[in-house]
Amino acid sequence: ELQASWQQSVREIKATETEIIAHHQNITGLREKQEKLQVITLPGLKQECDTASYQLTKMKSQADAIAIKSEAWIQEQTHLSQEISGIQKILNPQKTQQAQLNERKIQLEKQIDQQKLSLAQISPELVEKRELVTTVRREIKELTEQIQSLASELAAMEEEVSIAQETQNRLLREQREKQRELDKLEATQQAQQEIQGTYSTKLLLNSDLPGVHGLVVNLGQVAPPYQLALTIAAGGRLGYLVVEDDSVAAAGISLLKQEKAGRATFLPLNKIKPSRNLNLSNLRQAKGYINLAANLVTCESRYWSIFSYVFGNTIVFESLEDARAYLGQYRIVTLAGDLLETSGAMTGGSFSRRSGLSFGDSTTGGESQKLRSLRQRLSDIDRLVVNNSIKISDQSQAVKQLSIQLTEKKQILQREKSLILQQLEKEIERLNNEQQDLMVKSENNQNELLKVQQTLKKLMKIIPEQEEKLAKLQQKLVELETSHVNSQWQQIQNKIKTNETDLKLKEEKFQAAQKQQQELKEQINRITEKIAQQEKLITKEREKQRKNQAQQQQINKDLSQLSETITETEIKLKELSAKLGETKQQRDAKENKLKKLQQEQ
């Protein structure tokens, strides 16, 4: 950058020096011209002016001598000339006025015609703009009515959504209440089954009925940490009897009826279907999450569908605190035996283990009517909740669409229609002003035209009279000037005029030469000042070059020091890199040793 600045400075100095040389050459030429004017041109012109002035004075003396001899003739000529001049002073302005008035008359007639044409064009344009205003106002009114209609429709629909949401909330509250009631009834029934079911399952297990595999609780193994959680999650289903197929189940039911041994629940392997897969991708990283309950059971592959049915989509968490974040979303059991239902119900507290599980039913021989009614009502509520959710979603979408339409209509009204109306009203105002202005100008022009025509009429009467009088006087002057005295007088007057013209030309040349001399002097002064400025510029640029050289020397010195510093830093970096490699090897060795110790433990 400094090198470029140096080169630029050198170029500027050379260019400036070249300009200074050219200026000096120019000054030399100008001074030569100035000297020529001062020594040759101006004295010659001054001599010519003096000679012409002398000749003019001499001729005027001759004219005075002739005038003395013909004083009467001169007086008459002077009188006629004065009278002619007086008439011409009156007549010439009148003719000028007449010409100007004729020109003005033509201009006014053109302006009036143009104004009439413009007025004829504005009138239909005004009508068109006013019709457009009427149309736009009608459209604005229609658009406003549409906006009001949409707003009313939107308010009504929002009210419907609000009512539907209230209904949904009521259904969800009832759903939670019914689910809690159902959970209580199921718990009661489960307790009754545990009391009455032992005899029936023992009878079936001790019978020689073929195809009986055993109780659910006996067909799988669970690691000790998960036994309590899975026992609670399965509940009474651990006492269900697994059989080969539904024919074995039918035979078992017949046997229980024959022996009047109570009731039992059978799980035919050929009919039981596993629960649907649950998407757990959002739970795998959840705090305290362990697994699906069914995945924690070790069993033969043919019993997998049984345990999938028994546990369903129940999820195992480590603690109640971890599980509460998902209450109402999944059926969850904790390692401490706390049970969280999808309905929002939570079951927990102390737990007393029993040596065995068997299930029977109440003496009524099946579910109570209240339990069936609750399940039916919950099913109905589920269906209503789903339908109402769809309705709310549809209505919300409709509300959103209506809101968008309403916003668009308002934007159209505010941005387009109102803007168009404002523009049209401004255009109408402009046209009205233009029409009014044209009418005023046209009226003024017509009034002025009338005055011009009246003045021209007067001049057309006066000018011919003045011209006739002037012609008579000029004829007399011609007759007078054809006499001998006039011939001498005329000749001397012509010579005087010629000499006056010649003197005037010579004086103008002399003044022009003086002016040229002054201009040359000023031009030389300007160039001299410019040379002084350029010499100052050269001095400044050379000082700048000196500073740049000093700065460049300092930079070279700094670069040398920086290069030495970089070399030293690179050596230190290599040493640090070597040390870092050794440290990394030591760290890796320690990590490997730690991993081996962890594996041995």
Query: Does 339 have pLDDT greater than 90?
Result: yes
Q: Give domain status of residue 371, yes or no.
A: yes
Rg of the chain in Å (alpha carbons): 63
Helix H segments across 313-368?
Answer: 320-323
Whether 1 has a pLDDT exceeding 70, the answer reads no
- The residue that leads in pLDDT, 140 or 318, is 318
Q: Is 212 domain-assigned? A: yes
Total domains present in the chain:
1
Residue 286 located in a structural domain: yes
Phi, psi of 515 (to 5 degrees): -65, -40
Q: HSE on the CB side for 259, CA within 13 Å?
A: 16
Residue 257 pLDDT > 80, yes or no?
Answer: yes
- pLDDT at res. 357: 40
Nearest to 271 by CA among 254, 249, 300, 239: 249
The structure tokens listed for 291 are 């697994």
| pLDDT of 66 | 64
Residue 178 included in any domain: yes
What does the pLDDT look like over 175-211, one tens digit per residue? 888 888 877 776 665 555 454 456 688 888 888 899 9
Asked if pLDDT for residue 246 goes beyond 90, the answer is yes
pLDDT-derived band at 323, boundaries 50, 70, 90:
very high
pLDDT digits (tens, 9 = 90+) for 53-67: 887 787 777 777 666
Lowest mean pLDDT: which of 35-49, 353-367, 518-532?
353-367
For residue 353, give the 3-state DSSP assignment. Answer: coil
Highest mean pLDDT among 72-76, 103-107, 301-305, 374-378: 301-305
Of the pLDDT bands very low, low, confident and very high (cuts 50, 70, 90), residue 284 is confident
Q: Is residue 285 assigned to a domain? A: yes
Per-residue pLDDT at 519 exceeds 60: yes
For residue 220, tell me if it sits in a domain. Answer: yes
Round to whole Å and give the CA distance between 30 and 25: 9
Percentage of the chain lying above the pLDDT 90 cut: 19
CA distance 552 to 575: 35
- Is the pLDDT at 399 greater than 80? The verdict is no
Q: How confident is the model at residue 244 (pLDDT cuts 50, 70, 90)?
A: very high
Q: How long a stretch of residues is the chain?
A: 601
For residue 4, pLDDT over 70 is answered with no
With a cut of 60, say whether residue 69 has pLDDT above it: no
Predicted confidence at residue 418, as pLDDT, reads 65
> Cα separation of 360 and 262, whole Å?
6
Per-residue pLDDT, 419: 67
pLDDT score at 358: 28
Cα–Cα distances (Å) from 466 to 94, 202, 479, 545, in that order, read: 10, 158, 20, 86
pLDDT range class, residue 585, cuts 50, 70, 90: confident
Q: Which of the four pLDDT bands, split at 50, 70 and 90, describes residue 359? A: very low
360 part of a folded domain: yes
User: Facing residues of 297 across strands?
Assistant: 222
Backbone angles phi and psi of 241, in degrees to 5: -100, 125
| CATH code (residue 178) | 1.20.1060.20
Are 195 and 358 within 8 A, CB to CB?
no
Residue 238 in any domain: the answer is yes
* 453 or 358, higher pLDDT: 453
pLDDT of 456 > 70? The answer is: yes
- Characterize 47-70 residue by residue with b for buried, 16 or more Cβ atoms within 10 angstroms of its Cβ, and e for exposed: ebbeebeebbeebeeebeebeeeb
Q: Closest Cα partner for 246 from 274, 272, 220, 222?
A: 272
> What span, in angstroms and rounded, lies between the C-alpha atoms of 467 and 464?
5
Pairing of strands 339-340, 332-334: antiparallel
- pLDDT for the residue numbered 72: 64
Which range has highest mean pLDDT (30-44, 455-469, 501-515)?
A: 501-515
With 50 as the cut, is the pLDDT of residue 364 above it? no
What integer pLDDT is reported at residue 362 of this predicted model? 34
The amino acid sitting at 444 is: N
What's the average model confidence in pLDDT over 288-295?
A: 94
Q: How many CA atoms lie within 13 A of 57 on its CB side?
A: 6
> Which domain range does residue 197 map to?
173-388
